[in-house]
Amino acid sequence: MIKIKNIFLKCTLSLLLCLFSVIINAQTKSTDVKTISGKKYYIHKVEKGQSLYAISKIYDIDVNSVLAENDDAIDGLKNGQELKIPFESLLPKQAVAIDTNKYIYHKVVKGETVYSITKKYKIDDKKFVSYNPTINSGLKEGDYVIIAEKKKSNNAVIHIGPSSNSTIASESYTVQQGETLYGISKKLNMSQEDLLKWNPAVKEGISTGQVLNINSGKVISQASIVTSTTIIPTSIVASSTIIPMSTELAVISKAKKASYNIGLILPFKLVESESINIDELARLKTSFPQTQSLALDFYFGFKKAVDSLVSKDFEVNIHLFDIDERDSAKVEAICKSGEFKLLDAVFGPLNAGVFKLVSGHTKNLGIPIISPVIQQNKILFNNPLVSKVNPSQYTLIEGLADYCIDSLLASSNSIIVSATKKDQSYVNAFKSRYNSSLLTHGKSAKDSITEVKGISGVKNAYVSGKKNVIILLTNNQVFLQDFITQLYAFSDKKDISLVGFNNVSAIDNLDQDYLNALQFHFATSNYVNFQDSTIRQLTYQYQEVYTADPSDYFFQGFDIAMYYLSNLKNQGPDFFLNLEKYPKDGVSTRFKFVRPDNETGFENRAVYIFKYSNYKLQKLGWK
């Protein structure tokens, strides 16, 4: 089962409804029409994630009219369930909007009273009235009344817009239907003795809807136990005091369980999106701005993996946070909220500065945090609960150096280009790794590699009759384009191979013929091969839903969720402290984690080596 809770910044109802309507195919009325007992109905097949409210809007009919024809729908909808939707509504509108994903309802029968219903379900009458404020005018046969909030739901439904059910930190807990004192104590991570001490009345038993005091000094938020997606302005997220936890790897003592709260921090930047002309984008079928589009793609891929992993004994509650790296105060507010403290793992944010801020909080709370894209290793220091998927630039350089020693540079002339002063550290790192590898192979490192400046230096160092390997390690695209163009002109009928970073292939105005002629080799942490059957299948499924092509971030989101959450499902929370034991190949990303000591987090050091050959990319191996 998937439950999703989103915390977005200052977003409006109309903007987000438009946003999702552009990305997700619009729902239309069913074409299956039947006449039953002389009355015409649409036969609607429920799709995953649909709510009664959403279905009623498709057919422009009141929820009450749908329920009148489908009594079992009040218990919640199931994927593939068929509903009879009348052509026209003959019933008065339900006074309160019905949300079967969040609440458990009771249909009032003739002769029932508030007293009889509260006794039947063992509900406090004040709680019952708070759920159903319109009952003061009396109950009517056929009305639907709320008797409790659902503990679990079969569907995750998107309700977009500000909500009164904000994640204000709470020091009370409302008993759900079927819960026991033991179960509540485990859910809130406290002893039954403490619950009894703060709630003497529970010695006589607990009942659905009963409010328990949990004033333990910890901030607990019932808002994290949700059944729908709610988009809430960050401004209403409450701040509270961080409760320090032992940094002695507290996560290792956490038992394996059936339900986990997973936080995703992504830069949807919906505040900036308020200036977007949604109608124009929809008319022209134009992509959303890059940052929003990549964030959405990562989320879609992540959720795709979650959908395939959930089962009756493994529930994932996804909590989405839209964090703007320019507003540290709001980042702090989210990290101090009761909802955040209940997370079992956090993925993101994507910005290094904000990641450092958030990881400081997760460390105090004993929560593992994962960086999907940041390269810098500094985010790993002094936090054993951090892991980063994207290898550092220096790890890529080491991968290139090792490959060159093993495969390219035997009996060849190796030349490394010093491009700019900023790149000198890359040059030094390559030479250091290369020379140390030579020594381990029993060879001399003296004068093993020639360092030159620019294309003129390469021409002077070139040796005719030998294979010449040119190593160019820079991110300066202006230098790269000029150098590669000149190297291509110089390479005519010469045995030259170029080695560098993957960003070379992304230069817009660089002729791919140059890279093919130069047998360009590069190291990368992930690669999407559209010849792969799994990649093709995922691409097709994405296109079917979103009527667009997925970016690499979709596959990264899928791989990252599959790796971490499948291991969490099988191994339990202590997996986060033993990542090195679980190498794995994803559809686009390989995972091979290493950490230097118990005080430092994990870096993924799996590196792919690719070569341009015959106008195709050939995977040569990995480190």
Give me the CATH number covering residue 513. 3.40.50.2300
In this predicted structure, the answer to whether residue 359 has a pLDDT above a threshold of 50 is yes
pLDDT for 576? 94
Q: Are residues 214 and 114 in the same domain?
A: no
pLDDT for 165? 33
Q: How many CB atoms lie within 10 A of CB 447?
A: 6
Lowest mean pLDDT among 70-74, 275-279, 389-393: 275-279
Q: Are residues 421 and 468 in the same domain?
A: yes
Q: Could you tell me which residues come within 8 angstroms of residue 278 by beta carbon, excluding any fewer than 6 positions away?
A: 15, 18, 19, 22
At 176-185, the pLDDT tens digits run 766 666 667 6
What would the mean pLDDT of 592-617 be, rounded to a whole number? Answer: 87
pLDDT > 70: percent of the chain: 72
pLDDT for 558? 96
pLDDT for 583? 93
In this predicted structure, the answer to whether residue 252 has a pLDDT above a threshold of 80 is no
pLDDT for 247? 39
Lowest mean pLDDT among 109-113, 468-472, 512-516: 109-113
Q: Are residues 175 and 145 in the same domain?
A: no
Lowest mean pLDDT among 191-200, 281-290, 331-340, 439-448: 281-290
Of 566 and 437, the one with more pLDDT = 566
Q: Is residue 410 part of a domain?
A: yes
Q: Is residue 334 part of a domain?
A: no
Which domain covers residue 434, as residue numbers? Answer: 393-524
Q: Are residues 418 and 491 in the same domain?
A: yes
Rounded CA gap, 518 and 258, in Å? 53
Residue with tokens 């024809």: 69
pLDDT for 459? 93
The total domain count for the chain is 3
Q: Is residue 486 part of a domain?
A: yes
pTM summary value: 0.60
Q: Is residue 178 part of a domain?
A: yes
**What separation in angstroms does the CA of 433 have from each of 394, 411, 472?**
10, 18, 15
Q: Are residues 401 and 471 in the same domain?
A: yes
pLDDT for 226? 30
Q: Are residues 443 and 400 in the same domain?
A: yes
What would the mean pLDDT of 577-587 be, rounded to a whole number? Answer: 93
In this predicted structure, the answer to whether residue 362 has a pLDDT above a threshold of 70 is yes
pLDDT for 220? 29
Q: Is residue 4 part of a domain?
A: no
In this predicted structure, the answer to whether residue 172 has a pLDDT above a threshold of 80 is no
In this predicted structure, the answer to whether residue 406 has a pLDDT above a threshold of 60 is yes
In this predicted structure, the answer to whether residue 45 has a pLDDT above a threshold of 60 is yes
In this predicted structure, the answer to whether residue 230 has a pLDDT above a threshold of 50 is no
Rounded CA gap, 505 and 479, in Å? 14
Q: How many helices (H) and strands (E) does the chain have?
A: 19, 26
Q: Is residue 404 part of a domain?
A: yes
**Is 354 in contact with 321 (CB distance < 8 Å)?**
no
Q: Are residues 121 and 206 in the same domain?
A: no
Looking at residue 201, which CATH number applies to its domain? 3.10.350.10
Rounded CA gap, 214 and 212, in Å? 6
What would the mean pLDDT of 51-73 be, rounded to a whole number? Answer: 77
Q: Are residues 452 and 403 in the same domain?
A: yes
Of 564 and 339, the one with more pLDDT = 564
In this predicted structure, the answer to whether residue 225 has a pLDDT above a threshold of 50 is no
Element spanning 567, H or E: helix 552-571
DSSP labels, 164-201: SS----BSEEEPPTT--HHHHHHHTT--HHHHHHH-GG
**What separation in angstroms does the CA of 512 have from each of 30, 468, 490, 498?**
49, 20, 16, 13
The pLDDT mean for the chain works out to 75
Last residue of a domain, one of 492, 509, 524: 524
Q: Are residues 505 and 468 in the same domain?
A: yes
Of 470 and 448, the one with more pLDDT = 470
pLDDT for 183? 67
In this predicted structure, the answer to whether residue 395 has a pLDDT above a threshold of 60 is yes
Q: Is residue 492 part of a domain?
A: yes
Q: Are residues 402 and 485 in the same domain?
A: yes
Q: Are residues 423 and 506 in the same domain?
A: yes
pLDDT for 235? 29
> Residue 248 — pLDDT band, cuts 50, 70, 90?
very low
Q: Are residues 454 and 410 in the same domain?
A: yes
Q: Could you tell me which residues come within 8 angstroms of residue 179 by beta carbon, excluding any fewer than 6 positions away?
A: 151, 206, 208
